[in-house]
Amino acid sequence: MKKIILAALLLPCLLLAQQKVSIIPQPVSIQIDKDSFIIDNTTTISFKKSDKDLKAVADFLSAGISKISGINLSQNKGKGKKIEFKISPTEGIGEEGYLLNVTPSEVRITANTNKGLIYGIQSLFQVLPQVRTNAILKIPSMQVKDYPRFKWRGMHLDVSRHFFTVDMVKEYIELLAYYKMNTFHWHLVDDQGWRIEIKKYPKLTEIGAWRVDQNDKIWAKRPQAKAGEEPTYGGYYTQEEIKEVVKFAAARGVNIVPEIEMPGHVASAIASYPELSCNQKFQLPLTGGDYTNMSSNYCPGNEDVFQFNEDILTEVMALFPSQYIHIGGDEVDKSSWKSCPKCQARMKTENLKTEEELQSYFIKRIEKFIVSKKRKMIGWDEILEGGLAPEAVVMSWRGEKGGIEAAKMHHEVVMTPGNPVYFDHYQAGPDGEPLAIGGMNTLRKVYDYEPIPKELPAENRKYILGAQANLWTEYITTNEGVEYMVLPRMLALAEVVWSPSAAKDWTSFNQRLKWHYRGFQQKGLHYSEGSNKIEI
């Protein structure tokens, strides 16, 4: 009897002693014990010294610890307790997985690659305080085995409709890496602004990066530029800045997929080089989010257009090591090609029957070039129309139809259907929410998303690389706006693309979310709690 009473009294104490762990995305397996490892001034990071890349991983951990505590961890010296990194062939965790073992005397992260180690560190960060503290840094003892479900865990950002600074882009990458997302799709080109310096074609950023709408907050209500007005709103990234961002992302295990739109959504390029459109008329880069028109497409009848794009892609590929290069391909108003003599001549010589086939001809030529450089071309699902290029990867955004079709044809696919992973759509309200593009993608809807469509035959499922959320910024003008639309929905997506589907649990997710909300508050990040209130 006495024993039972004692146990009953002790149990709450034991539970209290056990630190709460709220990792998102939920690890594949995690076992938490009651004691903990304490990080102090004597703690040292230990790794194979000769491995320079491991030094970068160690620096990543040190920087994070120093930020929250002011403690500067030593590396490979000192007699204190160790946080050890180990690259060693480990079965069952793949390229990005990790094992994390925490005991009171040691922390050990084991992985097959540095990326795996980085994810182990991100899990460590998620059990430590989120902002600067004077409290003791305690890591609960635990055993974690963890690896992702999908290879492509993407977040997109449109920097054309509104421009975001290098610092903001880094903040975005930091945030997505914290949740083990590994792909940043950088939408660098659209009608409303060309955002990447191209040395061979300087007018792209001298002219194409600027427009006349600096004071307007909502594009739909924006007046068109009047003759003689100075284009002063915009911006672009220099090649040096791009290199810096690529390096920053790589240090966090994030690959950047650059998107260079073609043949449509390029009014900004046509503003710079009007001779590349069918009607060759000069126009200013479009304001806000206006839809493409006749003079915002390249002319596929013009040979110079191909040279131009190949030159641009050559510079782009030198900056971005990504295996995948995105060429857009969406929403081309092909009717303009009907009345273009050069386009019609091209169709005749190439024996193309429809304007869709003409677009397909365009994309196939570009793919050939990209493949000749040992990269893979990815495009929006419109690239299926008129015939898919032989090795193209399809980003399925108009639902999953295009993705299913491509996977059945043995093409790789990234699922990014507007419903539910367009984060420019409302997440709550709409009363009381910032103006957004229609559609209601609540947190719950995102959480319940399953990237493998039921109707896809089993043998084709391996072609689904993963999923991605897109953030178009016609209505999003500020950093706060970006944060608000992404948080907390990105956390739901992270669990969709990382955690085993059997481990998904809405109630548990909501429990864990609380710790993250506190972090957002502490860090001053904007987020929508509203998205959690609406059930579908």
Give the separation between CA 405 and CA 391, rounded to whole angstroms: 14
What residue number has its CB nearest to ligand TNX?
472
Amino acid identity for residue 265 in this structure: H
Helix (H, G, I), strand (E, B) or coil at 309: helix
**HSE-CB for 390 with a 13 A CA cutoff:** 8
Sign (positive or negative) of CA dihedral 135, 141, 142, 143 = positive
Token pair 């997109």: residue: 156
- For residues 451 and 497, the answer to whether their CB atoms sit within 8 Å is yes
Based on CB atoms, which residue is closest to ligand TNX, 184 or 380? 380
Q: How far is the CB of 161 from ligand TNX (least distance, A)?
A: 7
Distance CA 423, CA 230 (A): 32
Residue number with CB closer to ligand TNX (146 or 424): 424
**Straight-line distance from the first to the last Cα atom of the chain, in angstroms, rounded to the nearest whole number:** 50
> Which residues neighbour 59 within 8 Å (Cβ) at sequence distance 6 or greater?
none
Shortest Å, Cβ 384 to ligand TNX: 13
**How many CB atoms lie under 10 A from the CB of residue 434?**
17
Q: Which residues pair with 111 in a beta bridge?
A: 87, 98
Sheet of strand 82-87: strand arrangement: 29-39, 137-146, 98-103, 106-111, 82-87, 44-46, 74-75
Task: Provide the minimum distance between the beta carbon of 183 and ligand TNX in the complex, in angstroms, as a whole number.
Answer: 16
Identify the burial level of 88 via C-beta atoms within 10 angstroms of its C-beta, where 0-12 means exposed, 13-18 middle and 19 or more buried.
Answer: exposed
Residue indicated by tokens 């006349």? 212
Which CB, 94 or 418, lies closer to ligand TNX? 418
As measured in angstroms, the least distance from the Cβ of 329 to ligand TNX is 8
Distance CA 49, CA 37 (A): 24
Give the max Cα distance, the chain: 96
Provide, rounded to whole angstroms, the least separation between the CB of residue 392 and ligand TNX: 15
If the CB atoms of residues 187 and 252 are measured against ligand TNX, the closer one turns out to be 187
Structure tokens at 117: 């180690």
- Cβ closest to ligand TNX, residue 211 vs residue 516: 211
Per the CB < 8 A criterion, the answer to whether 218 and 193 are in contact is no
User: CB of 147 within 8 A of CB of 503?
Assistant: no
d(CA 414, CA 392): 11
Catalytic residue set: 331
Q: How would you class 288 by CB atoms within 10 Å of its CB: exposed for 0-12, middle for 13-18, buried for 19 or more?
A: buried
Nearer to ligand TNX, 64 or 399 (CB): 399
Residue with smaller CB distance to ligand TNX, 474 or 495? 474
Shortest CB 457 distance to ligand TNX, Å: 26
Query: Is the CB of 96 or the CB of 382 nearer to ligand TNX?
Result: 382
Residue 198 C-alpha from the chain's centroid: 23
CB of 465 to ligand TNX, least distance (A): 17
Quote the tokens at residue 530.
């509203």
Comparing CB distances to ligand TNX, the nearer of 99 and 493 is 493
Computed over its alpha carbons, how large is the radius of gyration of the chain?
A: 25
What does the binding site for ligand TNX look like in residue numbers (CB under 6 A)?
A: 330-331, 380, 397, 422, 424, 437, 472, 474
Q: At its nearest, how many Å lie between ligand TNX and the CB of residue 262?
A: 13
Cβ 297 to ligand TNX shortest distance, Å: 14
